[in-house]
Amino acid sequence: MKDKKFQIFVSSTYTDLKEERQAAVEAILSAGHIPAGMELFSAGDESQMTVIKRWIDESDIYLLILGGRYGSIEPKSGKSYTHLEFEYALEQKKPLFSIVITPEALQSKVKIMGVEAIEQQNQKELDKFKAIVTSNMVEFWNDKKDIQLAIFKTLSDFIYRKELIGWIRGDNNINTALLAEEIAKLTNENSELREKLQSLPSQNKALYFGLEYEQLAEMLKNEKVVYNDSDTNLLDFLSNNGSIFFKGFDSGSEELLNITRLLFDFKIIYDNQKNVKMLGQDFIVHNYLFTEEGHNFYLKVLYLTKTTNIYD
């Protein structure tokens, strides 16, 4: 739903990354979503970690910006608050991504801020924390522009995840009675179309790029890919995630970049790329959409997925 907004919890050390946090907040707002972070609210009578956990729970996505400092230490655990926030987000299985400073960017910050930009007391803890962070979904930044681009790119991937709840305006609530009526109508139409399709003679099979459905489906099934760190194939990916190509989609992660390239090669999608101006510079934003035949093929994939086990 295009009107759905996601709350993104922004985690980082504070004094050394004020400008970077502000750049992240601006990018989140520009993308139409809601930033949340400890500088945006007060703890009141509750402990700081209690407040942090509640806000992470209420957020849809967790974002970490990691610079050259480990951060303030929480007395009981001996870990930094930033470290504890990241661990809690992992424990709660929150969709998360991190943007980590490069060595070159850290050197530049040291020239400007001096030793305030680097960790002086807990370097070993910072190194351990960084190792954990970089073992998960991560981008790297040299400047504020890189942070904003990473946010735009990653959010374009996350917003299509079905498990994300998000927020909608109260006046956009769904009329469930009308929705139930529409579902019943579509169910009847689907039943009629199924009967008509089954009655068609075999010689009238539709062609997709010169191939019959079964031929193209078999080719996609044999194309092995990785998505969300799990082995799958192009046909199953299309069946489960093809709806992302209805409104346009930027490939985002390396896994999705490989998948979109393959689907592009099969002419199932095309790249309706756009030029975007940000921070005074022009950038190309990829926008993958179904081709006409790719769209028709996807609809048949959905139909046959619900009626038969043709791919097994």
N-term to C-term CA, the chain: 32
87: phi then psi, degrees, rounded to nearest 5: -60, -40
pLDDT tens digits for 119-144?
Answer: 989 999 999 999 999 998 899 999 99
- Asked if the model's pLDDT at residue 199 lies above 70, the reply is no
**Fold exhibited by the domain 7-158:** Rossmann fold (3.40.50)
Per-domain boundaries in the chain: 7-158, 182-307
For residue 303, the model assigns a pLDDT of: 77
* Mean per-residue pLDDT, 149-173: 72
The token duo for 187 is 């169910």
**pLDDT band at residue 44 using 50, 70 and 90 as cut-offs:** very low
* Residue 121 one-letter amino acid: Q
- Asked if the model's pLDDT at residue 86 lies above 60, the reply is yes
Q: Yes or no: is domain 182-307 CATH 1.10.3210?
A: no
User: Residue 36: which of 13, 59, 19, 15 has the closest Cα?
Assistant: 59
What's the chain's average pLDDT?
81
* Mean per-residue pLDDT, 36-56: 69
CA pair distance 108, 114, nearest whole angstrom: 10
Per the listing, tokens 């480990």 go with: 70
SS (H, E, C) the chain: CCCCECEEEEECCCCCCHHHHHHHHHHHHHCCCEEECHHHCCCCCCCHHHHHHHHHHHCCEEEEEECCCCCCECCCCCCEHHHHHHHHHHHCCCCEEEEEECHHHHHHHHHHHHHHHCCCCCHHHHHHHHHHHHCCCEEEECCHHHHHHHHHHHHHHHCCCCCCCCECCHHHCCCHHHHHHHHHHHHHHHHHHHHHHHHCCHHHCCEECCEEHHHHHHHHHCCEEEECCEEEEHHHHHHHHHHHHCCCECCCCHHHHHHHHHHHHCCCEEECCEEEEECCEEEEECCEEECHHHHHHHHHHHHHHHHCCCCC
